[in-house]
Chain A
């Protein structure tokens, strides 16, 4: 008696990795305005007042 067996051939394909939405991030950078103050209350906050001279 001859027994035959069949083997099912399974082929697998590799799915390419999906780009995650996290990788599509956009960070809104704050505007860079380099400022210098013209008045910080020089009469009351003068160095002399602060350092007690």
Chain B
């Protein structure tokens, strides 16, 4: 038998008691620990199960070796388990920073589960397909017939109308998140709740459905689209209200039309594959590209020559990642151009005007100007902070990735220490 080092007892993996390992319907293995999901290989899966059954690490490795006639070194496995099962107890090995910050939970998972149960039937194939077709057809007809409403609010007091329009949008977006959660429930997953927070500069509602990594891709895609489906149903109800209102109630019709338009626009925007909208998850799931944002960010490095060797030729299978990566960088450059244009045409001239006015700095106390400065510099500062923050995070992830790769390469170069069976 191979010599195995006496290693840490299971108590060294504080996350073990609460960690969950499970095979997925499509032949992968997942480890759920500390609110995070890890994709693991069959070997780690088997060993964690043995540890949970009460074996210590050397015994679990020995059991594996006996069952599969392969030598499994505990000192290879120990750091992996320490890192990921230790993390569940709060060790900082794996960063848990969320890309949505200032999160506030609006609905807990348990409440959501109770609330969503009655709606699960909406995702039966014979309900989902026809209903989705009806939603798309009717909303499309609405736009063709009524046109897009401009939220101008000229006929009603602006503040009141704006507030009402946003209430309509908030309810629609809440239905959107309910849709994701109900779809997750339909496939036996536990949604973790609905919350509010900020993604980049956008205020957002979000549904935490991290557990759905355990599902095969077709079901994940249904969950990704469940939000637009539910928001579409809500918008359809508004549309019925719009046509039910008498023509004479022009203001109410305009308000309702505006709410419908805002919801439609958010639905369309959600389908775009950038900035982690629903379309992002559809693209990621459809082409089997987990951690798409990170992969796309580092993809260009693949074309750099390393240690004098030329990069490998393009494989057909990596086309979706290539396309996404190029498009993602193009979008970034486009947004920079828009920002630059805004700065040059609007922001800087006005700022210049303010600073060179004869009554400067007294003119800054004029409240519209003060508000303008506050908003502009607040936004600039915030965007600068977000860009630097996101760059720093990606860089850190990249450094970790490189470190892991170096460790792997070093391990592969070490001569085998397998002991021959006599």
Contacts and interface: CB of A to CB of B under 8 A. Distances in A.
Q: Do A and B come from one complex?
A: yes
B190 interface: no
A38 B39 contact: no
A52 to B, nearest CB: 10
Interface string A21-49: 11111111111111111111011011111
B38 A36 contact: no
Which 8 pairs, one residue from A and one from B, show the smallest C-beta to C-beta distance?
A: A47-B148, A21-B411, A48-B150, A35-B206, A27-B39, A33-B206, A34-B180, A35-B204
A9 interface: no
A24 B199 CA distance: 34
B205 interface: yes
A46 to B, nearest CB: 6
Interface centre among A22, A39, A45, A47 (most CB of B within 10 A): A47
A18 B417 contact: yes
A20 B306 CA distance: 24
A19 interface: yes
B278 interface: yes
B267 to A, nearest CB: 9
Contacts of B224: 34
A35 to B, nearest CB: 4
A30 to B, nearest CB: 5
Interface of B: 30-31, 36-41, 43-44, 65, 69-73, 76-77, 80, 83-84, 94, 98-100, 147-151, 166, 169-170, 173, 176-177, 180, 199, 202-210, 212-213, 223-224, 227, 231, 261-262, 264-266, 268-270, 276-278, 281, 290-291, 293-294, 407-408, 411-412, 416-422
Contacts of B208: 31-33
Contact of A19 (B43, B202, B204): B43
B100 A36 contact: no
A2 interface: no
Contact of B205 (A15, A20, A35): A35
B71 A26 contact: no
Contact of A24 (B43, B205, B207, B209): B43
Contacts of B44: 24, 26
Given A32-B208, A38-B170, A27 B277 contact: no
Contacts of A34: 177, 180, 206-207, 209, 223-224, 227, 278, 281
B290 A27 contact: yes
Contact of A16 (B207, B231, B290, B421): B421
A1 interface: no
Contact of A40 (B40, B269, B407): B269
A38 to B, nearest CB: 5
Given A35-B100, A47-B148, A47-B261, 7 more contacts: A28-B94, A28-B291, A32-B210, A34-B227, A35-B199, A42-B265, A45-B265
17 contacts: A16-B65, A18-B416, A24-B80, A25-B40, A25-B41, A27-B290, A29-B210, A30-B293, A31-B210, A33-B98, A33-B100, A33-B209, A37-B203, A37-B269, A40-B269, A46-B148, A49-B150
Contacts of A37: 173, 199, 202-204, 266, 269-270, 277
